[in-house]
Amino acid sequence: MLVDFGNAPGQTNDRFEAIAEDIERETGGHLNVLVISHEHLDHIEGFYSTKEIFGDPARMTIDYVWMGLPSDPDYYTDFPAAEPHLKLVEAAAAYGKALAGRSLDLAPGFATMIRNNDLSNLDRLNFIKGLPTKSVKYLRRGNRTQNRAFTDAAVRILAPEKDVSVYYSDSAHNNLGALAAALGPATGGAANRTRGALEDWWSFPKAERVRSGRPPNLTARDWNTLKSGIEGGGPEAIRTIDKAQNNTSLVFILEADGKRLLFPGDAELESWRILEQENSAEMKPVDFLKVSHHGSHNGSLATVLDKVLPRENAANATVMVSTKSKVYGTVNPVPDEDTMADLRERCSRFISTEDDLEGLFVEVILD
């Protein structure tokens, strides 16, 4: 099983080829399962950048691809309550395109979010979905059909929920709903998203009523604030969709050889709260945790950590965080130092991709 392959947006892709070749050697050119936790470029860029390996059945065969249910091309038709999420993705892409070629000095964290949510990832997603496999499965909490991929391991999907709109706060619901009303019908649809004429959405050309009225779920003041923010560039809209995308992460427990390994993608607090409530039987100590959201302040929920990484079980636990300092966030930089300090106290072995890792991965994972 291979879970994700990417890097921080804006960072060099020079090492991808060597990594992909190493994966090819270590697996003998065969993967039972390729897991895409969610659609952000820092989790999928590597596959597309080394498509001469992952796209060539003579070099790499893949039995199954697992993705979260929201990646299903029919998702937004089946779950219309989540359609504002799609519209905001498209609007964010339009904003990113509009910025291209302009000499604007954006805050690093904001620039990263724009690159990470730009529709350039549509090419990457279509490549992954088109890989020659037995099937591409779009999974959500409770799915069990994926276990046919293994004979000596068990996998349980803990998230996402079927309808990802449950992750939106009341404020996010209002903002998304108001934005959806302003933007009008989405261009194309989830399966055929294109930049097209989206770049003029920010001026609300399709909704004359916006100039004379407002969506009923917002006060006049809130509507004017939202409209001004979007017309001025949409930073809050971009931040909203970045958070929403993280909370669509595929979260799963892998049990093999008596060990429990927890992989949460980039799940943030909204997902963790529902995950804890709906998966109470799984909230018990794990042997391995891949830290969510690169060690951010909102990527771990204290009550969940107390159950899956209790301090009294530290001798049996390994924690790994994939992170890069001074790339994500300025107000709340990633990784969060307090979060990292807390996690170090909950395990006997703490591994960060910013450390010297040569020779360590095989020892940790296969020991």
pLDDT tens per residue across span 56-93: 999 999 999 999 999 999 998 888 877 767 766 666 66
Residue 242 has what pLDDT? 67
223 and 266, same domain (yes or no): no
Per-residue burial over 282-297, b if 16 or more Cβ lie within 10 Å, else e, is bbeebbbbbbbbbbbb
353 and 231, same domain (yes or no): no
**In the structure encoding, which two tokens stand for residue 136, read together?**
């591409």
Task: Answer yes or no: is 366 within a domain.
Answer: yes
Task: Answer yes or no: is 279 within a domain.
Answer: yes
185 and 262, same domain (yes or no): no
Whether the CB-CB separation of 114 and 96 falls below 8 Å is answered with: yes
Task: Considering only residues 273 and 113, tell me which one the structure prediction assigns the higher pLDDT.
Answer: 273
> In sequence order, what are the beta bridge partners of 290?
320
In whole angstroms, what is the distance from residue 333 CA to residue 331 CA?
Answer: 6
Query: To which H or E segment does residue 15 belong?
Result: none
**In the structure encoding, which two tokens stand for residue 290, read together?**
């891949």
315 and 231, same domain (yes or no): no
Residues with Cβ within 8 Å of residue 248, at least 6 apart in sequence? 38, 39, 68, 70, 160, 164, 167
> In sequence order, what are the beta bridge partners of 351?
320
Q: Which of 179-188, 246-255, 304-313 shows the lowest mean pLDDT across its residues?
A: 179-188
In whole angstroms, what is the distance from residue 2 CA to residue 297 CA?
Answer: 26
Please identify, among 193, 219, 243, the residue that sits at the C-terminal boundary of a domain.
243
257 and 225, same domain (yes or no): no
Using DSSP, state whether 75 is helix, strand or coil: helix
Residue 13 has what pLDDT? 83
In whole angstroms, what is the distance from residue 161 CA to residue 85 CA?
Answer: 15
201 and 342, same domain (yes or no): no
Please give the residue range of the domain that contains residue 194: 91-115+170-243
At residue 143 the predicted structure's pLDDT band, cuts being 50, 70 and 90, is confident
Task: Answer yes or no: is 44 within a domain.
Answer: no
Q: Residue 286 belongs to a domain with what CATH number?
A: 3.60.15.10
User: In terms of DSSP H, where are the helices of 29-107?
Assistant: 41-49, 51-54, 75-78, 83-99
Task: Answer yes or no: is 146 within a domain.
Answer: no
The stretch 141-147 carries a mean pLDDT of 76
189 and 289, same domain (yes or no): no
Most confident of 212-221, 233-242, 298-307: 298-307
294 and 233, same domain (yes or no): no
Please identify, among 183, 214, 243, the residue that sits at the C-terminal boundary of a domain.
243
Split into its structural domains, the chain has a count of 2
The stretch 337-346 carries a mean pLDDT of 95
Task: Answer yes or no: is 106 within a domain.
Answer: yes
Task: Answer yes or no: is 71 within a domain.
Answer: no
Task: Answer yes or no: is 267 within a domain.
Answer: yes
CB count within 10 Å of CB 163 equals: 16
**In the structure encoding, which two tokens stand for residue 103, read together?**
């000499």
290 and 363, same domain (yes or no): yes
Please identify, among 214, 243, 272, the residue that sits at the C-terminal boundary of a domain.
243
Which residue shows structure tokens 């070099």?
59
* DSSP for 287-308, written as a single string: SEEE-GGGG-TTS--HHHHHHH
In whole angstroms, what is the distance from residue 12 CA to residue 344 CA?
Answer: 29
CA dihedral 27, 29, 33, 36 (to 10 degrees): 100
Residue 192 has what pLDDT? 35
pLDDT at 139 > cutoff 70? yes
360 and 265, same domain (yes or no): yes
In whole angstroms, what is the distance from residue 8 CA to residue 26 CA?
Answer: 24
**In the structure encoding, which two tokens stand for residue 250, read together?**
């595929």
pLDDT at 181 > cutoff 60? no
Residue 180 has what pLDDT? 54
310 and 209, same domain (yes or no): no
Residues with Cβ within 8 Å of residue 212, at least 6 apart in sequence? none
**In the structure encoding, which two tokens stand for residue 168, read together?**
């939106």
Whether the CB-CB separation of 47 and 24 falls below 8 Å is answered with: no
Task: Answer yes or no: is 213 within a domain.
Answer: yes
In whole angstroms, what is the distance from residue 343 CA to residue 306 CA?
Answer: 11
282 and 262, same domain (yes or no): yes
